Structure 1
Amino acid sequence: MHKKSDESLRDYIKRFKAERANIVGCDGQIASSAFKRGLPIECELYRELTISPRQTLIEVFATAERYTLWDDDQIVAKKADQANKQASKENGKHRSQPQECALATESYTKFTIPIHQILAQVKDMPWLKKPSPLKGNLTEKDTSRYCRFHEGYGHYTNDCFARKRHLEDLVRDGHCMEFISRGAIQQIKDCDATNNEPPRKKPYGSTRS
């Protein structure tokens, strides 16, 4: 008999005892030797039985039972490590995808001036909502990337998803239309007509007072 590569020490002992029980008049020393030879040479128990040989099969089994506790713990730790690696791998897949990919399926309004300039001009307007503060440890953020919308570090203003979506909401309500080209405004009208959406709260092309 030999311990299988995917077999726990506890299961090997149980299988060995079952096989031994089927042998009438099995010699203890022969059984002890067979038990040891069935172990992988890199097994800690094999090393223990070689350095400190047991004279009886009962002593061999007693030593082996102690090693099952260590073997069981290693199996549990290995399974936990594999689960953690799998979870990290799955999370890594999500993190490895650039955030721009999330925008690939979304259509955003094209403005005639950079976003940060729009925010600078409408920052005092009552309809501009302030976003929630950026989460995370400030010491771990990239301080070379500043977002005017969040007024914090971590990403550039033009890459801010929250800002893009909020501007879309503002455009939906008829705000910031002066920063949109006439062609884009016509596309919005056509889109509303296609989707049977209600008219904007403000007329298209309205300017700020």
Structure 2
Amino acid sequence: MALVSMKQNQGELLKDFVSRFNMEALSIENFDHNVAMVAFQNALRPGPFAQSLAKTPPSTFTDILGRATKYINAEEVMQAKRAEHVEKKDKKKHPEERRRDDRREKHRPRWDSGGFTPLNAPRAEILATIEGKDYLKKPQPMKAPSDKRNRSKYCRFHRDHGHDTEECHQLKEEIQELINRGFLRSYVAKTAGEVPVMKDEKSSAVRLKRSRNVDPISFSDSDLPGYPTRNDPLVITAELGKWELRRILVDPGSSSEILYRQAFLGMGYEMTQLRAAKVPLVGFDGEAVYSEGIIQLPLTVGRGSRTSRVMLDILVADVPSAYNMILGRSGLNALRAIPSTYHMMMKFPTDRGTGEVWGDLRLARECYMASIGITKDKEAGSQKDADPPK
């Protein structure tokens, strides 16, 4: 089993390793949770999470995933603090030193554009965002023999040693193809003038497109609803496929879009239309539920001339929910949307200016009350199962 031979690489973030481990686990036909538990713990590098698992052994593989989420969140907080520290350190530099850094920065390529669309983030970060969503083709094997590759370099796309992720030409081409198809717009660098696009296969000329000037998005007191809010969730209505779908929870804390099975079937779709994708969805309680599959549908938000339409890969889950769908980070990034629960609205750029979607307070509170009922029913069922028969 490939899981047994897996190891967390030096410098590899826990989030990246968990994602890589899960992808490998999903490819195994007869997945054994007990074997996965042992393989995961053996693969971890020494650190706080490994110590925690050794001190308090997990009861299930799902338990490991739930506990890993807490350490991943802490890891991200520490990364943000380190970045903030570097930024403060840069501000303290002598003016002449800053000018030297600026001159060096001008001559540095923006994430190694080299004929590809300039990006505002490392390709490794983009890969981590879209991994496991069937956006990318399976990479071709590395050409160099394994014994002649640089073992100090690791490519997350190939999941093998030989070159760094940022140097991977296949990954550059895959990301560029997605950009050309209208995806990953939030990762395209905002440059003045013209932006190079990948060469056409039938032409040696490089096509150029001009970047659009997007109006800055902001919120003010004039955007506040005409009623008092009580920390209500942002629940909107949008067009999904050919349907107007209500009860969509806007949740930046969710990494993926989730359409609940009852709503999926109610829209006239069939389970046979799903592509296979058994992705673990971990909730706040640490309990993992696996998706039934994945489907690609267009989502349209906004009204009149100020609308935005994107294609999304949406996971379908068979769990009780007061909502029909969750709009997560990947969808918000595709729309370039900014939600505000304080203002009970979401704004996003369009060709005709800033588009707006207002939250539905009545639906939000109905969903909240229904969610409480579902939770109580679930707890009552768990208690009933735990009580010994009389």
TM over 0.5: no
Q: Name the TM-score, length of structure 2 as normaliser.
A: 0.22
Higher helix share: 1
Q: Name the TM-score, length of structure 1 as normaliser.
A: 0.40
Q: Which has the larger radius of gyration?
A: 1
Higher strand share: 2
